[in-house]
Structure 1
């Protein structure tokens, strides 16, 4: 871009105002939705897209949600070339631009003086979308028909600001919790209409010409910042692989993921090649174009030490090659993409981010914990308190984040596709919305991947029905292949799950399971943890001491893993510097 005529102050002010609109959308949806997965865990995102389908602003939206928003806006315009003020559209089509069928997206074209200037986008993960089983994660679905979800390819749901009742009734007739879904739908529509109102006010203040100039300048500025960030990287070609756990009988050997990354600082470009990956698989683990792009961008932004706006301007500097009909790329209808936002996507984010660690400090990150396990399960059954069926997803777990060149892994990381941007459930809200009782939730010492900067620790939880049986469905990963450390860092712990009978006996559960949990029985989950960055012997002994004092590490494990010796004085536990130096020298040599 040319700097001629670029008004930095005006651009910064308006950019912050637009971000403020997205945050108001977010607050509206958070406060008014009905599903616990939305109003407690915040598994949703809001964004603003330009009329020519470039992502303009997403504030703190989840990367796996917002990177495809511009693809959905493009699909909306292709399907409805005569857009009108007062229109709204519902889209959850994974074969065009959506993340997966569970993410219901509302798109509202925003008009000013009769001209389409923006598209307001809200996307929320629903508790139920009519799948053939009561979960929005159907790992075993061989195709979209077995998956069972209602697919809406940018279908008009409002005209002249009024609901199109046929579509609403279709959803209410098929979805297991119709009133809950309708409350979430109204919340999404409300958030998008808030954006419409605020964007009109913004244009009224600055004028159409000024706002159009801002949009060009903001996206061009973002592209320039991304180009400069890449120019600061060393030229390199990076290769990395990852592997999803086996899933019997669909993926008996698991699924290998490969990525080739060419960093071209002289061109200000990163070229990512995913074309060597496997074709679509006959289960619900296939990625979509949107989640493939989101995984690549998420991995890159995690790995490079630069502050760059996350919008279509920055995306211009990353070229991605992917195949049609690939499990890591664009899906071919009717292959199921039920888990497109999580399992393989999480492995790809890790694969891309960890690849940059091959450049050495300060680049790259270790692998973050994977696995939508027991703490992310979808629960369903009959609630005797209301006499009504319930379906809701838990988001109560933690999963350890990756160590980086700058910091330890985030404790409440979630999974790589979330990277700490979702909330953890309120225990009280979960127990109000669902007839369950939590037995315990706790972090587990000595579990984070060791390193100069360690990974976030594992998390353990357990819950039981209050009175009646409940069905627990989860599609985990990470019980076999742990999160890898980088640059000499240690790998994280793997995930586990057990079913505890009323007499206390335990049965180990597989990665992916459907369990009918009866009164007196308890389901236990043990999260994976994050990998470490750098050699554990390079960790500052003062940080190791702090870890011991705070309970993140036991003294024995700290000595064994980090080579730090302790002594007790009148002031309490302290580091024995001389003994530590001797032990570390011994560990380093053999």
Structure 2
């Protein structure tokens, strides 16, 4: 289609079709959420859906998690290349991190959508599994030296349905390795159902508008999205940005993992280059990124830093070059290095590294770093449940909050999660988790005075404690954030560090490392402190009325209001009648500025 025809497409029809297709993605998401069996999907919504074009370009993602959706086009291409006989009625299971997927725990279901004999779309429904067959009962196996020690079942675009009929041999093979097969099978059916819903709806759209109109729409939508990206990049100054960071140490990585991103902004060409090639080689543990997560994490950081709501699809991606190196921990992994934790730890650091790099352009650009570290609030728990004849259980919790980063315009989100999901997942219902598993949540609370201070502050961290109502349970998490905090920018303060503890039934407390496997007995419990978000801008520039509001709402303390923000109130006991003492605040801030 010519450029002139792209520009001439009816803008009203383009808006209608774009919202219609986004609506299909949301219907897919609701199908997963309402029909899956495991809490990691139906409570936390650790799942994402997307639609790709027949020529393997990402078209629509709606509210998909950033770390999940940017590689969907690679999976669609792998499906087509692996199956020249691909036909209507097929469905493929793809969780191979070496050929387009994120990590093995994310099972993606791909359905090619045909209309009038032509492959028009691929529907992609991806969901994190409660169990993926790992040798340990966790879907985040940080200690795995390679994919063999990891032990997960890998399906590189494997056909699981032919002519709408299940390939039962594949199902039996998977069930043999899954610890709670009935739970997995429910999630398996939910994923296929979500993709089939999209197939039905996309055919309806094609029937209503016609194949050629849909093709014209796709080209026009990509052209429009590219132009929106052009406009956003041209608002940035030309620059070469270099940002470095570090993943914390663990018992198997005593020096941690140094990280680096080099970003070149070329507003005249409306291009951004993100070069990740100057990072260390693959490491002998599960922290290696897959090509998909290495790309998506920096794309997420970039989009977080851009002005306006730029569509996330193949059109806007045309203006970004992500440069990766084969065999790098932040790049294209070489087999058999494990990518078990590819969607969180390093990915979280790279989202932060990219987004905060743009703050180097000056006040008003970029954003601070968001809280990270999948700790006990994101642990995989497993054991037997005495309420159900000691039946086995396994599931990943999502009881964390983690503080969102401050931006030039706003405070951080409280329910941020971690950078790779950026508030799009749900925090587990405590009641649902306690119903599904023999655990008891003792405490889940925000921590007053913990957010990174700034003109706009990072969201606070949280405190979580839970124990078990059985004789034993295993808690496994990949961890981070106990040594290197989320950083503030433009004079904003860093977020607080994470902490993790196990408290035994006799009261003995032991501090836990970043990545750990914890064996718990009756009356034991674990305690975790989540990071908070970094601040943006000097705390002395924060509106004093906002500081008073924070104190009243228990986000901040009176002591920190005076010591860090330089705000003095008319009464020591702050209540609704309290006001900011303007003269005293001006003097306090002047004194603090002189000491800086």
Deviation at 1:576, TM superposition (A): 0.5
Q: Deviations over 1:467-515 (max 9, x none)?
A: 2211000111000000000000000100001111223231111111111
Whether 1:478 and 2:481 are equivalent positions in the alignment is yes
Quote the Cα distance in structure 1 between the aligned partners of 2:518 and 2:362: 44
Match of 2:580 among 527, 552, 575: 575
Whether 1:100 and 2:103 are equivalent positions in the alignment is yes
Whether the 8 Å contact between 1:305 and 1:362 is mirrored in structure 2 is no
Whether 1:400 and 2:410 are equivalent positions in the alignment is no
Match of 1:347 among 349, 355, 373: 349
1:33-112 → structure 2 map (5 Å cutoff): 33-112=36-115
Structure 2 vs 1, CA of residues 571 and 526 (structure 1 numbering), >3 Å: closer, same or farther? closer
Quote the Cα distance in structure 2 between the aligned partners of 1:81 and 1:375: 44
Quote the Cα distance in structure 2 between the aligned partners of 1:178 and 1:456: 39
Match of 1:291 among 281, 288, 293: 293
Deviation at 1:128, TM superposition (A): 0.3
Quote the Cα distance in structure 2 between the aligned partners of 1:21 and 1:471: 39
1:105-124 → structure 2 map (5 Å cutoff): 105-124=108-127
1:132-531 → structure 2 map (5 Å cutoff): 132-249=135-252, 251-387=253-389, 388-531=391-534
Deviation at 1:177, TM superposition (A): 1.1
Secondary structure (helix, strand or coil) at the match of 2:246 reads strand
Deviation at 1:366, TM superposition (A): 0.4
Whether the 8 Å contact between 2:9 and 2:217 is mirrored in structure 1 is no
Quote the Cα distance in structure 2 between the aligned partners of 1:487 and 1:357: 7
Structure 2 vs 1, CA of residues 473 and 161 (structure 1 numbering), >3 Å: closer, same or farther? same
Deviation at 1:378, TM superposition (A): 0.3
Quote the Cα distance in structure 1 between the aligned partners of 2:36 and 2:499: 32
Q: TM-score when scaled to structure 2?
A: 0.98
Structure 2 vs 1, CA of residues 549 and 81 (structure 1 numbering), >3 Å: closer, same or farther? same
Deviation at 1:96, TM superposition (A): 0.9
Quote the Cα distance in structure 1 between the aligned partners of 2:94 and 2:565: 51
Secondary structure (helix, strand or coil) at the match of 1:240 reads strand
Secondary structure (helix, strand or coil) at the match of 2:578 reads strand
Secondary structure (helix, strand or coil) at the match of 2:564 reads helix
Whether the 8 Å contact between 2:368 and 2:407 is mirrored in structure 1 is yes
Q: Deviations over 1:52-94 (max 9, x none)?
A: 0000001000010000000000000110122100000000000
Structure 1 runs not aligned, ≥5 long: none
Whether the 8 Å contact between 1:94 and 1:100 is mirrored in structure 2 is yes
* Residue of structure 1 equivalent to 2:566: 563
Structure 2 runs not aligned, ≥5 long: none
Structure 2 vs 1, CA of residues 237 and 36 (structure 1 numbering), >3 Å: closer, same or farther? same
Structure 2 vs 1, CA of residues 231 and 503 (structure 1 numbering), >3 Å: closer, same or farther? same
Q: Which moved more, 1:239-248 or 1:564-573?
A: 564-573
* Residue of structure 2 equivalent to 1:533: 536
Deviation at 1:571, TM superposition (A): 6.0
Divergent runs of 4+, >3 A: 1-4
Quote the Cα distance in structure 2 between the aligned partners of 1:245 and 1:4: 49
Deviation at 1:305, TM superposition (A): 1.4
Q: Deviations over 1:535-578 (max 9, x none)?
A: 00000000000000000111011111100011129962211110
Whether the 8 Å contact between 2:250 and 2:513 is mirrored in structure 1 is no
Quote the Cα distance in structure 1 between the aligned partners of 2:42 and 2:238: 44
Quote the Cα distance in structure 2 between the aligned partners of 1:254 and 1:570: 45
* RMSD of aligned alpha carbons: 1.0
The total of aligned residue pairs comes to: 589
Quote the Cα distance in structure 2 between the aligned partners of 1:368 and 1:114: 47
Whether the 8 Å contact between 2:80 and 2:86 is mirrored in structure 1 is yes
